[in-house]
């Protein structure tokens, strides 16, 4: 079976600016894949190339084995994209919008599936409402519905929950998880890293147009290990020998966060505090999560796949 998305050495220039610098990724069919990076990392440029909205300066992209340039009809038929921006036609109702989108893909008599999408995204009661009358959250639900209306095997969600309420997020993820269980490939970009950690089996991180990490989510988090010890001390100040472990500024209540790379370091750390005359009034432990990993990787000088990237 071909890869859901196969990206090979893709570069994209806008004048003298190179947004993508030789990106290579292979996303297997059936994966729930995360594409993460700070603003300006190249995520939307890459998605635009995959969707055929932009043409790569060099390199190639295939969706379910179909080249997005030479076999663009089949490639687009296999792909559904939920964009960041709220793009809609103000002259149609929700149902008319979905029927029109169906028509773009040559689908007739698609009302049963449209009804199912409307129900699962809790849009049924807005089916005959004009698009311009909808709230921002409802418009975003319609964008999701449009991406799904032709039942694509590959679904790309570009910041689908940005600025939306908790109810929509829960509704959306319930439906997307169901589609994933049914065999759809899901590609997610998001700044909500807790979503990516919970949902994505594998993650790529982009920085300045390059892939700087690519691995299974559990491996990425586990590679950094350890976590953070938050303590409130009395009796004596933090010894200078532990200053390098301090993470961030002291909290208003006097708590100090100390990084530990391995939980085996915890007992020696506590012993050094006791030897310095510190009394621990309060202590909390927090494991490393994907947000910690993201910050560490983004603050590391660019070396492609520096975090031990794995393509599978």
Residue 251, number of CB atoms within 10 A of its CB: 11
Q: In what order do the strands lie in the sheet with 17-27?
A: 17-27, 5-14, 58-63, 66-67
Under DSSP, is residue 33 helix (H, G, I), strand (E, B) or coil? strand
Q: Which residue has the higher pLDDT, 88 or 35?
A: 35
User: What pLDDT is stored for residue 196 in this prediction?
Assistant: 93
User: What pLDDT is stored for residue 309 in this prediction?
Assistant: 43
pLDDT, one tens digit per residue, over 125-158 is 999 999 999 988 888 889 999 999 999 999 999 9
What residue ranges in 29-129 does DSSP mark as E strands? Answer: 32-36, 58-63, 66-67, 79-82
Selection from 63-77, 263-277, 289-303 with the highest mean pLDDT = 63-77
Under DSSP, is residue 137 helix (H, G, I), strand (E, B) or coil? helix
Tokens of 245: 């472990």
Residue 229 makes CB contacts below 8 A (sequence gap 6+) with 257, 258, 260, 266, 269, 283, 284, 285
Residue 52, number of CB atoms within 10 A of its CB: 17
Find the mean pLDDT for residues 13-18.
94
User: What pLDDT is stored for residue 306 in this prediction?
Assistant: 44
- Tell me the pLDDT band of 312, cut-offs 50, 70 and 90: very low
pLDDT at 226 over 80: no
Question: Are 217 and 34 within 8 A, CB to CB?
Answer: yes
Q: How far apart are CA 21 and CA 38, in angstroms?
A: 16
pLDDT, one tens digit per residue, over 46-102 is 999 999 999 999 999 999 999 999 999 999 999 999 988 888 888 899 999 999 999
Question: Are 34 and 199 within 8 A, CB to CB?
Answer: yes
Q: How many angstroms separate the Cα of 32 from the Cα of each of 99, 190, 311?
A: 28, 13, 14
Q: What is the rounded average pLDDT for all residues in the chain?
A: 89
- Tell me the pLDDT band of 307, cut-offs 50, 70 and 90: very low
Find the mean pLDDT for residues 14-38.
96
User: What pLDDT is stored for residue 311 in this prediction?
Assistant: 43
User: What pLDDT is stored for residue 302 in this prediction?
Assistant: 62
Fold of 5-221: Rossmann fold (3.40.50)
State the DSSP code for 161: T
Question: Is the pTM here over 0.75, yes or no?
Answer: yes
pLDDT at 233 over 70: yes
Q: Which residues pair with 157 in a beta bridge?
A: 82, 188
- The torsion angle over the Cα atoms of residues 203, 206, 207 and 209, rounded to 10 degrees, is 170
| Closest by CA position to 289, among listed 244, 231, 222 | 222
Q: How far apart are CA 20 and CA 35, in angstroms?
A: 14
């Amino acid at each position: 079976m071909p890869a859901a998305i196969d990206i090979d050495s893709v570069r994209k220039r806008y004048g003298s600016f190179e947004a993508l610098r030789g990106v290579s990724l292979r996303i297997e069919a059936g994966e729930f894949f995360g594409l993460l990076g700070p603003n300006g990392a190249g995520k939307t440029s890459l998605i635009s190339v995959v969707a055929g909205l932009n043409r790569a300066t060099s390199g190639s992209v295939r969706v379910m084995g179909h080249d997005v340039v030479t076999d663009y009809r089949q490639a687009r038929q296999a792909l559904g994209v939920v964009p960041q921006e709220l793009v809609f036609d103000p002259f149609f109702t929700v149902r008319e919008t979905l029927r029109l989108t169906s028509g773009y893909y040559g689908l007739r008599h698609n009302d049963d599936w449209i009804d199912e999408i409307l129900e699962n995204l809790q849009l049924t009661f807005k089916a005959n409402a004009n698009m311009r009358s909808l709230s921002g959250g409802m418009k975003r639900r319609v964008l999701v519905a449009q991406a799904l209306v032709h039942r694509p095997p590959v679904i790309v969600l570009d910041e689908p929950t940005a600025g939306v309420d908790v109810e929509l997020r829960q509704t959306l993820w319930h439906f997307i998880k169901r589609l994933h269980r049914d065999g759809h490939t899901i590609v997610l970009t998001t700044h909500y890293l807790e979503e990516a950690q919970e949902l994505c089996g594998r993650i790529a991180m982009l920085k300045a147009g390059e892939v700087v990490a690519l691995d299974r989510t559990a491996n990425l988090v586990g590679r950094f290990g350890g976590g953070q010890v938050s303590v409130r001390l009395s009796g004596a100040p933090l010894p200078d020998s532990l200053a390098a472990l301090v993470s961030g500024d002291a909290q208003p209540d006097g708590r100090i966060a100390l990084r530990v790379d391995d939980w085996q370091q915890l007992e020696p750390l506590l012993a050094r505090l006791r030897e310095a005359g510190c009394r621990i009034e309060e202590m909390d432990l927090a494991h490393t999560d994907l947000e910690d990993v993201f910050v560490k990787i983004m603050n590391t000088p660019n070396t492609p796949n520096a975090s031990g990237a794995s393509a599978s």
